[in-house]
């Protein structure tokens, strides 16, 4: 019994070790810390200008077909028109109060530490209600586009909004 258990443990350890093959791509193996004063800011939706939230690049390029991470600053009282995105994204509230849901949904203000996932093609609005509102958004592929609800589609995923009080780490 002990020999069998040790053999299983040895095989599992070898399998997991081999699964962690390091990358040979130098660009992917470098980590870079971006300090607040080095974040490159622009408009999340340049077509809306200053009516759009500000977007700060952390990595990748959200306008291209690649993974990207970026910060989004929302002004107090901001509320987007109903819209969709062509890709699924995830968000974490860093500061303030944010709402991300169907335009007819009762406001569920997510405080700092809360999480949401917005599926591609799902119509929604995003709103902010604190003096300072900041979120981190993560996409696995791009480009990150804002499109009209007339182009909505169902990709089988469903939106998720999780208040920090319901998260256990």
DSSP state letters, 33-85: ---GGG-EEEESSGGGGGGSPEEEEEES-TTSSS-EEEEEEEETT-BPPSBEE
Average pLDDT, the chain: 87
In a domain, 10, yes or no: no
In a domain, 135, yes or no: yes
Residue range 134-146: average pLDDT? 95
In a domain, 25, yes or no: no
Q: What domain count does the chain have?
A: 1
- Number of other residues whose CB lies within 10 A of the CB of residue 51: 12
In a domain, 131, yes or no: yes
Domain harbouring 112, CATH code: 2.60.120.10
The residue segments making up the domain with residue 78 are 38-166
Cα separation values, 167 from 72, 114, 127, 162, 164, Å: 22, 8, 22, 7, 5
> For position 18, what pLDDT does the model report?
46
> For position 104, what pLDDT does the model report?
94
- For 145, half-sphere exposure in the C-beta direction (CA atoms, 13 angstrom radius) is 13
In a domain, 17, yes or no: no
Instruction: Give the span between the Cα atoms of 117 and 100, in whole angstroms.
Output: 9
> For position 51, what pLDDT does the model report?
84
In a domain, 83, yes or no: yes
Q: Does residue 14 have a pLDDT over 90?
A: no
Per-residue pLDDT tens digits for 69-101: 999 999 999 999 999 999 999 999 999 999 999
In a domain, 29, yes or no: no
Instruction: Give the span between the Cα atoms of 100 and 126, in whole angstroms.
Output: 4
Per-residue pLDDT tens digits for 19-40: 445 556 665 556 788 888 899 9
- For 98, half-sphere exposure in the C-beta direction (CA atoms, 13 angstrom radius) is 32
């Amino acid at each position: 019994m002990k020999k069998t258990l040790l053999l299983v443990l040895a095989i599992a350890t070898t399998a997991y070790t081999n699964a962690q093959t390091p990358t040979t791509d130098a660009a992917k193996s470098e980590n870079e810390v971006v300090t607040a004063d080095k974040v490159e800011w622009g408009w999340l939706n340049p077509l809306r200008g200053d009516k759009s939230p500000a977007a700060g690049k952390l990595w990748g390029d959200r306008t291209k077909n690649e993974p990207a991470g970026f910060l989004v600053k929302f002004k107090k009282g901001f509320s987007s028109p109903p819209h969709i995105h062509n890709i699924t994204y995830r968000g974490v509230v860093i500061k303030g109060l944010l709402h991300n849901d169907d335009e007819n949904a009762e406001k569920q203000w997510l405080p700092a530490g809360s999480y949401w996932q917005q599926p591609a093609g799902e119509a929604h609005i995003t709103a902010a209600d604190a003096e300072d509102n900041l979120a981190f958004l993560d996409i696995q592929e791009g480009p990150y586009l804002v499109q009209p609800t007339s182009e909505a589609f169902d990709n089988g995923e469903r939106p998720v909004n999780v208040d920090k009080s319901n998260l256990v780490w």
